[in-house]
Structure 1
Amino acid sequence: MVRCPGERVKVVVAEDGLLAGVDVGTTHVKVGLFDRWGGCVAAVRRETPRELPALVAVVSDALGECAARAGRGPEAIGIAGMAETGVPLDSSGRPLSPMLWWNDPRGAEEAARLGRDAVALYALTGRWADAKAPLAKWLWLRAHAPEVLRAMRWWASVPDALAYELTGVLRTHPTLAARTLAYDVRRGCYDEDLLALAGLSADRLPPVVSAVEPVGGLAAAIPGVAPGVPVVVAGHDHAVGSWAAGVRRPGDVADSLGTAEAVMVPARERPDPRTGLALGVTADPSLDGTGTVLVGGLPTSGAMLDWLLDLLSPPTGDDPAHSRPGERRDYTALPGLLAGVPLPTGIVVEPYLRGRVAPAPDRDRRVAVSGVGSGHGAGDLLAAAVEGTCLHVRWMLDELTAVTGTAPERLAVFGGQVRIPLWMRVKAAVSPVPVEVVRSDDAVCAGAALIAGQAGGSLQDVPVLPREPMPSDPALQAAYLPPYERFLTRATAQSTPEAGTQKNPRSCSTEQEHQ
Structure 2
Amino acid sequence: MYIIIYDFGTSCVKTCLFHIDSGIELLASSSASYGLYITADGGAEQDTEEWWAALCSTTRDLFLKSDILPKDIDGMAFCTQIQGTVLVDANGNALRRPMTYLDQKGIKEYEECMGRGIIKVFGCSLYKLIKNLRVNYAASTSAKDPVWKYKWVEKHEPEVFAKTDKWLDINEYLAGRCTGRIIRTADTAFATFLYDTRKGREGWNKGLVKMYKVKPEHLPEIIENTDLVGGLTRKAADDLGLVAGIPVFGGGGDTTFVSIGAGSAQPGRTHIYVGTSGWVSTFMDHQAFDLRSTITGVLSAKRGYFNYYAELETAGKCFDWALKHLALDEVGIYLQKTKVTDDLESRYTSLYEYLCEEIAQVPPGANGVIFTPWMHGNRCPFGDSNAAGMFFNIRIENGKKDMLRAVLEGICYHLRWMLEREDAKVTTSDPVRFVGGGSLSPVTCQMLADITGRTIETVDHAQEVGAIGTALAVAAGIKGTDVLQLSEQLVKVKQTYLPNAENKEVYERNYRVFQTLYRSNAAAFQKMNG
TM range (shorter): 0.7 to 0.9
Residue 487, structure 1, aligned to residue 511, structure 2: yes
Residue 52, structure 1, aligned to residue 48, structure 2: yes
Q: Which residue of 1 aligns with 2:288?
A: 271
* Contact 1:112-1:129 within 8 A present in 2 as well: no
The Cα of 1:453 is off from its aligned counterpart by 1.9
Q: Which residue of 1 aligns with 2:237?
A: 221
CA change 1:263–1:150 in 2 (3 A) is: same
What pairs with 1:92-491 in structure 2 (closer than 5 Å)? 92-115=91-114, 116=125, 117-125=128-136, 126-186=138-198, 187-196=201-210, 200-219=214-233, 220-222=236-238, 225-271=242-288, 276-314=290-328, 331=352, 334-335=355-356, 337-354=358-375, 355-370=377-392, 372-404=394-426, 406-440=427-461, 441-456=463-478, 457=480, 458-463=482-487, 464-472=490-498, 476-491=500-515
Q: Which residue of 1 aligns with 2:57?
A: 61
- 2:433 aligns to what SS in structure 1? strand
Q: Which residue of 2 aligns with 1:29?
A: 13
The Cα of 1:314 is off from its aligned counterpart by 4.5
* Contact 1:87-1:161 within 8 A present in 2 as well: yes
- 2:249 aligns to what SS in structure 1? strand
Q: Can you give the 5+ residue segments of structure 1 that lack an aligned partner in the other structure?
A: 1-12, 321-328, 503-509
The Cα of 1:332 is off from its aligned counterpart by 7.2
* Contact 1:102-1:131 within 8 A present in 2 as well: no
The superposition leaves residues 78-108 of structure 1 with CA deviations (integer Å, 9 ceiling, x where unpaired) of 2110111131111122221121222222211
State the distance in 2 between where 1:338 and 1:144 align.
Answer: 47
- For 1:467, the aligned partner's letter is V
- 2:291 aligns to what SS in structure 1? helix
- 1:297 aligns to what SS in structure 2? strand
The Cα of 1:202 is off from its aligned counterpart by 3.7
State the distance in 2 between where 1:130 and 1:416 align.
Answer: 27
State the distance in 1 between where 2:141 and 2:484 align.
Answer: 33
* Contact 2:266-2:484 within 8 A present in 1 as well: no
Q: Which residue of 2 aligns with 1:42?
A: 28
The Cα of 1:248 is off from its aligned counterpart by 1.8
Number of aligned positions between the proteins:
474
More moved, 297-306 vs 249-258: 297-306
Q: Which residue of 2 aligns with 1:325?
A: none
CA change 1:267–1:346 in 2 (3 A) is: farther
The superposition leaves residues 340-370 of structure 1 with CA deviations (integer Å, 9 ceiling, x where unpaired) of 2233434252424344422244555444545
* Contact 1:22-1:449 within 8 A present in 2 as well: no
The Cα of 1:412 is off from its aligned counterpart by 0.9
The Cα of 1:69 is off from its aligned counterpart by 2.0
* Contact 1:418-1:439 within 8 A present in 2 as well: no
TM-score if structure 2 supplies the norm length? 0.81
* Contact 1:391-1:484 within 8 A present in 2 as well: no
CA change 1:225–1:360 in 2 (3 A) is: same
CA change 1:497–1:491 in 2 (3 A) is: closer
State the distance in 2 between where 1:216 and 1:364 align.
Answer: 43
* Contact 2:19-2:25 within 8 A present in 1 as well: yes
- 2:78 aligns to what SS in structure 1? strand
* Contact 2:11-2:34 within 8 A present in 1 as well: yes
Q: Can you give the 5+ residue segments of structure 2 that lack an aligned partner in the other structure?
A: 36-45, 115-124, 335-349
State the distance in 2 between where 1:52 and 1:500 align.
Answer: 37
The Cα of 1:278 is off from its aligned counterpart by 0.6
Instruction: Report the aligned-residue RMSD.
Output: 3.0
State the distance in 1 between where 2:12 and 2:408 align.
Answer: 22
The Cα of 1:292 is off from its aligned counterpart by 2.8
State the distance in 2 between where 1:289 and 1:64 align.
Answer: 34
- For 2:173, the aligned partner's letter is A
State the distance in 2 between where 1:365 and 1:93 align.
Answer: 37
CA change 1:370–1:87 in 2 (3 A) is: closer
CA change 1:500–1:381 in 2 (3 A) is: closer
- 1:43 aligns to what SS in structure 2? strand
- For 2:54, the aligned partner's letter is V
The superposition leaves residues 123-146 of structure 1 with CA deviations (integer Å, 9 ceiling, x where unpaired) of 434132333222112211221112
Percent identity at matched positions?
A: 22
The Cα of 1:491 is off from its aligned counterpart by 0.9
The Cα of 1:336 is off from its aligned counterpart by 5.6
CA change 1:350–1:154 in 2 (3 A) is: same
State the distance in 2 between where 1:183 and 1:23 align.
Answer: 24
CA change 1:392–1:468 in 2 (3 A) is: same
CA change 1:259–1:479 in 2 (3 A) is: same
CA change 1:136–1:300 in 2 (3 A) is: same
CA change 1:430–1:493 in 2 (3 A) is: closer
* Contact 1:267-1:292 within 8 A present in 2 as well: yes
* Contact 2:85-2:98 within 8 A present in 1 as well: yes
Q: Which residue of 2 aligns with 1:505?
A: none
More moved, 438-447 vs 252-261: 438-447
CA change 1:358–1:335 in 2 (3 A) is: closer
* Contact 1:350-1:487 within 8 A present in 2 as well: no
- 1:278 aligns to what SS in structure 2? coil
State the distance in 2 between where 1:93 and 1:483 align.
Answer: 51
State the distance in 1 between where 2:503 and 2:520 align.
Answer: 31
- 1:343 aligns to what SS in structure 2? coil
The Cα of 1:25 is off from its aligned counterpart by 1.2
The Cα of 1:331 is off from its aligned counterpart by 4.3
CA change 1:335–1:302 in 2 (3 A) is: same
More moved, 350-359 vs 434-443: 350-359
* Contact 1:253-1:412 within 8 A present in 2 as well: yes
The Cα of 1:437 is off from its aligned counterpart by 0.9
